[in-house]
Structures are given as C-alpha cells and as structure tokens.
Structure 1
C-alpha cells in the first residue's frame, strides 16, 4: 500500500461507531517512514466526530455540593461507575467533547504530540507509552455572585477560549491533546514512561522531576495544571458534584501494616492474623521489610528490603486464626514475626479490566484507584505537579503556574510563571476547605473558606503559616492514609520543592510546553 497508507478502519474496534458514517478518507493516515500517524489526519478525523454542542455546569459558591448541568449537558444522567465484571453506564460515551481514545505516542521537544498506535489498529499495546487522546476543547468560564459557570465544547463558539495548554509556544494550536493514562514509572534504564503493570515511581519531587524528565530539552514534564484541569472539568460535567470522593474515593484509606504470625523460609507468602488479612485486597501492592529499625515509616529501606511493591495474588486461610497472603514475586523469600508488611500505592494498570469510569471492586471503599475518561488516578500517593509551585512570602502565599516547562527549574518558579492567586486558608498552618473552584491561568483552584469534608469542595488544602518564607511543591490527590483530606481538589503545600518520599509520585505530561492559557 506504499509508505503513506490509510490504516484499515475495520481493525479500529474501539472507534467503529465513530467511523460508521464516515468514508475511509476520514481514517487516520499512518506513515511507515516516521512510524507515526500524521497529525493532520488525526485532527481531521477528530473534527468529523464533533457535535458542536455546549456542555455546561454551574458550580455554586456556597456550601452546597450539588452542581447544575446546563446547556446540552442538562438532562444527561450522571454515569454509573463500573467495577470489574460490571461495565459503567455512561451516557457521555462518544459525545463530542467527551470523546477519547487510548493511543501510544509521546511528545517532541517543541511540545508537538505524536501518535504511533491507536487502540484496535493492531499496533497498540498498553506496555508501550499509553495516553488518552482527546480533541482540543473550547471553554467559557464566567462568574456571578452565586456561581462559577463552565461551558465546554468541541467546537469554538463566540466568547470561548481554547482549553489550557492548547497552544504550543510558537502559537500553533495542538492537533489534539494527550494525557498520560498511567502514573509515572521508569524502565530499567530509568526512562520515564506511562505503561500498564509497572511499579509506580515514587520518591520524586518537583525538583527531581525537572531532571528526571529532562524537561528543558525533551518536551516531557511531570503532570501539569492542564492535565489536572481536564480531569476536574470532565468530573464536574459528568457527575455534577463538588464532592469528588462521594463518587471516587480513591486509595485514601488503605493504611495497613501487619506483623507476620508465622516465620517461614523459601516462601512466596506471608502468614498474618486473619482479621488483618481481611483488610487486604487482592490486586493491591505491599512491601515487606526486615524492620530492623525503630520506625514503621515505609520510606525507610528496612521496611521494604525483602520485597518492594509486590502484588497480592490470593489469600488462603491457614487455620481459624491465620491467613496466608500470596505475592507475585521473582524469587522466594524468608519471613519472621519481627518483619513488617505494609500496603503501598497500587501498580499502574490496576483498573485495566474496568470498562468505563470506575474502580476494580468498589469506587467508595477508600482502598482502590479509579479511572475517569480512561485516566487512572488515586493509586495511594500524591501526584506532584511539575509546572506549579507555591511561594510563601512572609505575609501570605501565591500559587504560580509556569506555561512553558522548558523554563522550569529547581527551587523556584521562573520569571515566566503566572500568578493563580492563593488557595484558601487562615494565617496559621493547617488544613483548609474551599467552597468552590475556578480556573486561574490554567489551574483549577479552590476558592472561599468555611467548608469541610462534607460541604463545599470537600477536599483539603494544607498550607504553612503565612509568616513562612520559601517555595513549596504542589502535591495533588493525596496518599493512602488521607481519607477525607484527599480528593481531586486536594493539595498539600507543606513540603519544599525538593522534598521526595515514598508516597510522592507523578505522571508524564505531553502538555508542559505551552504558550499559556489560550486566548
């Protein structure tokens, strides 16, 4: 068929519905010489799927958590998230602005995304870098005394702006948007990736992300405000609530540590008290350490020196009081009753068998990650934003968003960073809860004060005292012991920009290089 041929649309299983009314000319064109689909053909293909509708949501500024769907969004029922074996019921599937596809690909040094495979084309694999591809969206956000009103469309309407990070630094519009499907992991050579089945890369910080991603030269970066914005907007439009954990709790209440009850050698299991084993989920990840030190903190090497982030594959009762937890490990190990077994963040791909939005077995038990719009989140760790930092000035704080991560540096924001104001909080150090959210310079951030885990946004923001001077990193989502402090809007602003620990992760971003919030 030559070096520049059209992919067989009959193999594009996941996009069959979208192609039914289209000719072969609408199918993305694969170039054998580059090993990529042409960006122009993908953009044209996505354009054929537009519905031109304006989907809106009105977010009340008061304590009420319920939002109101507006425009074309009014009357569309909230999805019913799924679990493995019971697919989600999602009326938004294949609707204009909510369209997405799983792809393999990446980003060039100038910020231009590329696609090498599309799910269903015979080339796609979740063990290669996997992204969620969406059309570029257009948005209008207005504010009244009572509400913030957001409208999103796949077609630009009067007054609308392009979504955050839609413009490349040279002013060109991206042909499409890419969002990492999976949390960050690294291969044997330390190369960052977004793949299924891998142990997530933790012990990272804002500053280590700059060097790990080679941000200044690759176009690659840690998760950005634009990646965060997409998930939040999709959640608000689809589920119409400010309380994200009421729908997807994430792995935020799974802080379990256990001592073995039986010592064994040459084994792949750990025998523990039955009551403790009942708290452990098959498919989740754990560490086992000789626990020769005095601290139970999972960041200490002696608490994961036997195995690190092994998957629970089954549980078998040994007797009335004890249960054996079996692990997927490369080689057998020894246990002792002085050892310590602990839960840690799930491995990437935990939600692969979930069809649509949802979690493996429960969306609200606070033990499991979830997937929304194909993006897997809430694995039991923070996700560091790579282009957002918080500056404490001695009299208050300012959040900065850097449009182009090529300028990102360790220790502080570059001069090109834009102010997003401050997130809520009193002058003293502590947890705070905002009443509502709005987008400022591409970052969706909490506003107002006086809420809690049950009213307003419901997700906590932690800040240090206003008298503090220095830079702090933006830790989103929350780790596996945060419960109600965590959620889509949760932020910890406590740690310096170079602080890294066992529950600090992130994900790749193809959207770090941008001209800023598009006009």
Structure 2
C-alpha cells in the first residue's frame, strides 16, 4: 500500500518536500505488519536531502551570540509563534531540519518502527507520538576561540554520524525518533508519549527508569544524551545564541500556592484570592490536597491527595476579591479553607495548538512550556537522562555516558560507559555557569566556569563538593522555580541516582540502544 495523505496542514508541508517525486519515492505501509517499511522511509528521506552543510560557530568566551556558517549563514532566525500566530521559520523542510510526527516505537534490538505518519488517516497524538528526522552527519572542530559545529543530511568528508545513529550491531538506523511528549503512563503503568496526559513524576529517577522502561529486555529507555543533543543542536543552528532562555524561558518561574477562600462540596472548582488567581494560566496544571500536615512541600501526599496535575479550564470572578478556578477532573471534590492548591508541571500536549516553534501565549514569561522542532519541552519539571550519571570521586566529578541502555544498572554506570570529561564547577558546592559547550561521547556538555545567567551558556549546573563520593543523576531543563538557572543546558547534579521527586520526570527514548558515538 502506498503512502497517501488526506488534505490537511501536514500534507501541505510535506507535499512541498515530495514535489516531483513518483509514488515509488514515498513510504510503503504493510497491512500485514501494521508498520511502514523502514527501507522505504529511509529512501523517502534520502530523496529529500539537500546535501547542504549548516554550521554555527560557538564562541568560547562570555558572548552569548553565535555565528551562522556555511549554508546556515544568511538564514534569518525563526520568529517563534503562539496559539493563533504561527511561527515564521525559514528552516521548515530544509534538509537537516526536516521532521514529521509519527506513531511508532522501538523494538528490543533498538530498531525504530513507524505505524502511522501525520496526515495518513491513521495518525493520532493519543497514541505513542514521535518526531521522525533523517539521520544527521556532523563535524565538530575546536579553535582557541570557538567550537564550530556543522550538520548535514548528507555525509561529507570528515563528518561522522550523529550520536546514537548506529545500533548495537553496527547497522545505521534508517531514521531517528524523538519523543514528542514528556513521559506519562497509562492505567496499567505502561510508559508512553501521548498528548493530554498528566506527566509521570514522584517515582521517576535514573535507577527507577531501568525497571519502568524494562531496559534489559526492550529497546525503550528514559531520555538519553542523543535526544538531548538533537534539541540543543537544532536550537543552536536556528537561533544562534547560547542563551536558550532568551528565546524560550520554559516553565521556570511558576511557583504558586494558595488556600481556598470558600469551602464547597461536590464541585470542580477552587475559589481563591484574586491576586493568586490572576497569576494562574488557563491550560496549566495544578495539584490540590487536604493539607492535613504542616509542610507545604508538594512532595507530601496530603498536598496532592485530591488531584495531581489537573488542567485549569477557566476562571470566573466570584466578586472583586475572589476567583473560582475550574479544573478538568474525573469526579467532583470538596474544598475547605485549610486545603492547599499549588501549581504543577503542565500536562503533555499543552503546545499542540502552537504552529511551529513557540509557546501557548508567551515564550518568555517564565510560566509556559515550549516546542522546538516539534518536541515539547520545559513543562516545569526536571527531565532525568537515563544513560548519563555523574561520579563524584572525592577529588572532583566525572560525567559518564552509557551507549547501550540494555546494560544500564542502578547505583553506578556500567563498565561500558564512556567518559564525557569533568563536570564543570568550582571545588565547593554550588551553582556553576559554563562559558560554552561541546559534544563529548554523544553528550553536549558545558565547558568552563566563570559565566553567569546573562553571559556564557547562561544556564546553571549545580555541583556538590569535590570531596563527595558517590553517583548523581543528570537532571535537565529546570523546574517551576529555577528561573534564570534553567534552560537547555541546565543540569542538577546533586540528587542521588535513585532519588525521585514530584518535580522530576523524563520522556521515552527510542535511541537508548546504540553502539556509541558513531565514527
């Protein structure tokens, strides 16, 4: 069966890329397997290559501005969009930047598969949803002054395959898949990447992800370094800045708690003071608890025992001082003036109505998630990497990347893990701000010290004292109150490898099983 699209926006976008191609050039779907043929997808992507080298020069100094090079020079930075105003993005359908949303997954040997493509009549964001891209080829060189990164959809002399492009058996993936959405679970506890779900937190950690994703027997894993690399690389190439929060702040300044001002029963709303309600965004998510204890921390069950991650549907003024906040919940509840309402990480799919890169209503207000290259990020929680750990040796800290998550183990990195070098920072515990970044064994990692939230990389990485001994997980992006410390290069490096939290989540990865950084 040939691949055909009904008439919709995806058709309009992909039709441009397919212009002039015959029916033999498009993916083939098998009714027998329920999957598209991987070889036909790879051939389809190959016919859309432009062969251009898109580059960016990343200065090693304090300047945040990068320089576009090669075929990237002269391409204007995109203008991110919001709901109702589409992004203006000159990179759409450009060679290395091509992507399309699909349903699918990954087999136990690490081979990705596709069951539906956006626009084919089978696709649904309520099924496991991924962003499909071509395998990219990269060249990264260093001078005294800069790291120069070049990416292409066609292998050029000196280039190597992108991180995780090779399967454990040495074969190249036919394409790359990246989870569109943060991790949630279904009623049976099965991990998924779907729209419209409360994110999975509270029990997610590096160690917990091994059993949750069944890494020893499946191709699934938590988010890995290769997933992180793709977003960072695309961002750098498109926006040419080391300061990711200058474009997308993410939900990093949305730490609001309130107590009801009115007790009600059999309701789906919570009435709170107007000054608190004015800070709450429709579409965001909150938690509500009986607050029978004295601690206000969201990690306590009594602060989320009524609902956890319910979406705000509307607000209604009761009077000049009080506002009712309504929630999308399965059943009504009661409220009391001693209960606690608090912001929570956004639900998945909150950016579904954004056309292109952007956020629901503001990209920089510090309250909202964002989407880059079709991937929704910055929901107000930290995303743990399932194949990266930091080892504190007693005299410093070293970062390790494990190429094949089938070997991942709790409490430390396996012997197969590769060193990505030192975790930057001063000897004493605290925040460090790196000057630049580079890719080491598949992980795009910060380098240097002495910057701040406004110069250099601009994102903080938290490091414990050099005299510490033990393993810590790699927590990315930032949570509800990390403010200027947060961003694409943020790392929390103090939590133990098995430490979960209400503010810690992740996402599925189809790229956990690989041979290592490709040669």
Q: TM-score interval w.r.t. the shorter chain? A: over 0.9
In 1: Cα distance, 2:350 partner to 2:191 partner? 19
Matches within 5 A, 1:436-451: 436-451=436-451
C-alpha deviation, 1:10, in angstroms: 5.5
How many angstroms apart in 2 are the aligned matches of 1:200 and 1:8?
Answer: 33
- How far has the Cα of 1:16 moved from its partner? 1.4
Task: Determine the structure 2 residue equivalent to 1:24.
Answer: 23
Show the 5 A alignment for 1:384-463. 384-463=384-463
Q: Which residue of 2 aligns with 1:491?
A: 491
How far 1:9 sits from its partner (Å)?
A: 4.7
* SS of 1:472 mapped into structure 2: strand
Matched, 1:276 2:276: yes
Q: 1:43 corresponds to which residue?
A: 42
Instruction: Pick which of 120-129 and 257-266 moved more.
Output: 257-266
Contact 1:10/1:16, CA 8 A, preserved across alignment: no
Conserved in 2, the CA contact under 8 Å of 1:131 and 1:194? yes
Q: CA deviation at 1:127?
A: 0.3
Relative distance call for 1:262 and 1:9 in structure 2 (3 A) is closer
**Is the Cα–Cα contact under 8 Å of residues 252 and 380 in structure 1 kept in the other structure?**
yes
C-alpha contact (below 8 Å) 1:7/1:28 kept by paired residues: yes
TM-score normalised over the length of structure 1: 0.99
Provide structure 1 residue ranges, at least 5 long, that are not aligned to the other structure: none
1:16 aligned counterpart, secondary structure: helix
Matched, 1:115 2:114: yes
**Residue pair 2:285, 2:309 contacting (<8 A) in 1 also:** yes
Instruction: Encode CA deviations 1:280-322: one digit per residue, 9 max, x unaligned.
Output: 0000000111111111111100001111111100001110111
Give the Å deviation of 1:7.
2.0
Q: Determine helix, strand or coil for the equivalent of 1:57.
A: strand
Q: Which residue of 2 aligns with 1:85?
A: 84
Distance 2:281 2:416 in 1: 45
Q: Quick check: 1:141 aligned with 2:147? A: no
Please give the root-mean-square deviation of Cα atoms over the aligned residues, in Å.
Answer: 0.7
Distance between the aligned counterparts of 1:38 and 1:267, measured in 2?
Answer: 50
Instruction: Give 1:1-80 correspondences, 5 Å limit.
Output: 5-9=1-5, 13=11, 14-80=13-79
Q: Distance in 2 between matches of 1:301 and 1:334?
A: 17
Q: Which residue of 1 aligns with 2:129?
A: 130
Alpha-carbon shift at residue 27 of structure 1 (Å):
1.1
Contact 1:9 1:24 in 2 (8 A): no
Tell me the equivalent position of 2:199.
Answer: 200
Residues 51-80 of structure 1: CA deviation (Å, up to 9, x unaligned) = 000000000000000000000000000000
Aligned equivalents of 1:18 and 1:151: distance in 2? 23
> What secondary structure sits across from 2:217 in the alignment?
helix
Contact residue 390 and residue 423 of structure 2 kept, 8 A: no
Cα distance in 2 for residues equivalent to 1:426 and 1:299: 30
SS class of match (2:236): helix
Give, in angstroms, the shift of residue 423 of structure 1.
2.4
Identify unmatched segments of 5+ residues in structure 2. Answer: none
What is the Cα deviation at residue 21 of structure 1?
1.4
1:459 to partner: Cα distance = 0.2
Q: Could you say which residue in structure 1 is the equivalent of 2:354?
A: 354
Q: State whether structure 2 residue 161 is matched by structure 1 residue 162.
A: yes
Report Cα offsets for 1:376-406 as digits up to 9, x if no partner.
0000000000000000000111000000011
Q: Cα distance, 1:158 vs. partner?
A: 0.1
Post-superposition offset of 1:487: 0.5
Q: Write the mapping of 1:216-295 to structure 2, written as runs, cut at 5 A.
A: 216-295=216-295
Residues 141-194 of structure 1, C-alpha deviation per residue, up to 9 Å, x if partnerless? 000000000000000000000000000000000000000000000001110000
The alignment partner of 1:215 has SS state of coil
- Contact 2:255-2:480 within 8 A present in 1 as well: yes
TM-score, normalised relative to structure 2: 0.99
**C-alpha offsets along residues 224-261 of structure 1, whole Å, 9 cap, x if unaligned?**
00000000000000000000000000000000000111
Q: Counterparts in 2 of 1:175-190, with a 5 A limit?
A: 175-190=174-189
Residue aligned with 2:41, SS: helix
Tell me how far apart the structure 1 counterparts of residues 279 and 253 of structure 2 sit (CA, whole Å). 11
Q: Is the 8 A contact 1:58 1:67 kept in 2?
A: yes
Distance in 2 between residues matched to 1:146 and 1:83, nearest whole Å: 36
Q: Give the 3-state SS of the residue equivalent to 1:217 in structure 2.
A: coil
CA distance in 2, matches of 1:354, 1:72: 28
Q: Secondary structure at the match of 1:102?
A: strand
User: How far apart are the structure 2 equivalents of 1:272 and 1:130?
Assistant: 37
What aligned pairs does 1:353-372 form with structure 2 within 5 A after superposition?
A: 353-372=353-372
Distance (Å, rounded) in 1 between the aligned partners of 2:329 and 2:395: 51
